Structure 1
């Protein structure tokens, strides 16, 4: 057989194998069931191998032979590679701009350290990231997808869970030494408290008051004093500079802890029902860029 016909026959075999029906396969391939049957019989004749046989148990249905079943995984992987190659060829001619809105602190502390892996995997997307912290109108601002922190419910948007944090004090390693070394939560009375008030209107967001209450330190430390900063990344940077102690959250401080810029003086942590979610409109849920970004984010979040 000529190569194009052979490829069509292999594609027909892959589709029929998934549906075990000429009728359903024909609908997916946009041809007639007779055409599908002709391609399958031609492929079997060329290969000299039976790919299907019919089993009768009340109704007649297609069943893969052992040879057909054994060849299927490699064939499907080959079509996946072929599809990826075609996409890359398209990318050489034109690229797709993909607009994403992301909280500034999350972009700074988590996403931007990883985004190059998405770009390597999807060369044909030019990603543009908005970190304004405004709740943008996806239609008016031409946003394809976003990452938001909250309870997972936003009007007119679909949300997919990504990450949930724990909250705990973090500080410069220098504050673990000296006259007022941080050894117990009560020692916080000798240090400046840095308050992240970027979500102070959200009742579920942990505060110094709630953390101290959970840690059993209710009177020894004044939970209201200190410096209040309306930016999570800036609050963390202030702590890195050695100017006080802030409540860090897992996602935003993990790298600074690993690389020694921050230290965690106490084991006590507070959970939070709020989380990071990928959001997009219902109309864009099947858009290739949104699907690709969602799958990549879920994989990254799981590995984190």
Structure 2
């Protein structure tokens, strides 16, 4: 009976919040991955704070999915196929995957030149979930004879890009994560004619029964607007 009792209290708490919080005042708890926070959200969050100064954002950064009810999370951004039980999901951004390197490295002329460089692998997600890998990109590029398993393996997408910025090798970058670094010329995209779209995408997620709370509506709308402006 305890789950039902807890669910009843949660609904009661939510009802009280809706009665007293018909504004943007208060704390908004947002869950995102550490890499997404560092590379995409934090460089932009000041614009939300300027638009909604009465909303205090609390970031919960974790690689693992959190329990929105138990941890009192309001809204989040997740990377995947768009299906998370108990949560409403709206697609925010699709993503491409491509090699990047430091501008200081000699420019590679064709994908076969990767054989002479260290490959940096993003292992922040399991490849069995459809997460793009070097092996898949090389196959799309029509390159053989390169060991796709060798190189530097890192389980954080932001650290993957930082390793490439510092010249430690060629990273297989996620376009959303790498966008600002490429724009600032900290990274250079290689082989732009080769297009490889990820099967995964970014989604805004929240509890359906909380969708009408003003703070959640404001932050969701802001995220979607920022995604189209990038």
- Give the TM-score normalised by the residue count of structure 2: 0.87
Question: Aligned pair 1:143/2:66, yes or no?
Answer: no
* More relative contact order, 1 or 2 (CA 8 Å, 6+ apart): 2
Deviation, structure 1 residue 201: 4.1
Which of 283, 292, 297 is the equivalent residue of 2:209?
A: 283
Q: Which residue matches 2:9? A: none
- Higher alpha-carbon Rg: 1
SS at match of 1:252: helix
Question: For residues 87-106 of structure 1, what are the structure 2 equivalents within 5 Å?
Answer: 95-106=25-36
Contact 1:166 1:271 in 2 (8 A): yes
Which of 148, 162, 166 is the equivalent residue of 1:237?
A: 162
Question: For residues 1-304 of structure 1, what are the structure 2 equivalents within 5 Å?
Answer: 95-175=25-105, 177=106, 181-219=107-145, 221-267=146-192, 268-304=194-230
Ranges in structure 1 where 5+ consecutive residues have no aligned partner: 1-86
Answer 1 or 2: which has greater helix percent: 1
* Matches of 1:172 and 1:264, distance apart in 2: 9
Q: Deviations over 1:112-151 (max 9, x none)?
A: 1111111111111000011122211001101001110000
SS at match of 1:202: helix
* Matches of 2:128 and 2:54, distance apart in 1: 39
* Matches of 1:147 and 1:294, distance apart in 2: 10
* Matches of 1:282 and 1:203, distance apart in 2: 25
* Matches of 1:203 and 1:97, distance apart in 2: 33
Contact 1:173 1:262 in 2 (8 A): yes
* Matches of 2:102 and 2:123, distance apart in 1: 20
Q: Which residue matches 1:58? A: none
Q: Deviations over 1:225-253 (max 9, x none)?
A: 00111111111100000000011111111
* Matches of 1:197 and 1:159, distance apart in 2: 24
SS at match of 1:116: helix
Q: Deviations over 1:29-49 (max 9, x none)?
A: xxxxxxxxxxxxxxxxxxxxx
* Matches of 2:177 and 2:228, distance apart in 1: 16
Contact 1:100 1:130 in 2 (8 A): yes
* Matches of 2:185 and 2:221, distance apart in 1: 31
- Note the aligned Cα RMSD (angstroms): 1.5
* Matches of 1:153 and 1:134, distance apart in 2: 15
Contact 1:195 1:208 in 2 (8 A): yes
SS at match of 1:270: coil
Q: Which residue matches 2:16? A: none
Contact 1:194 1:226 in 2 (8 A): yes
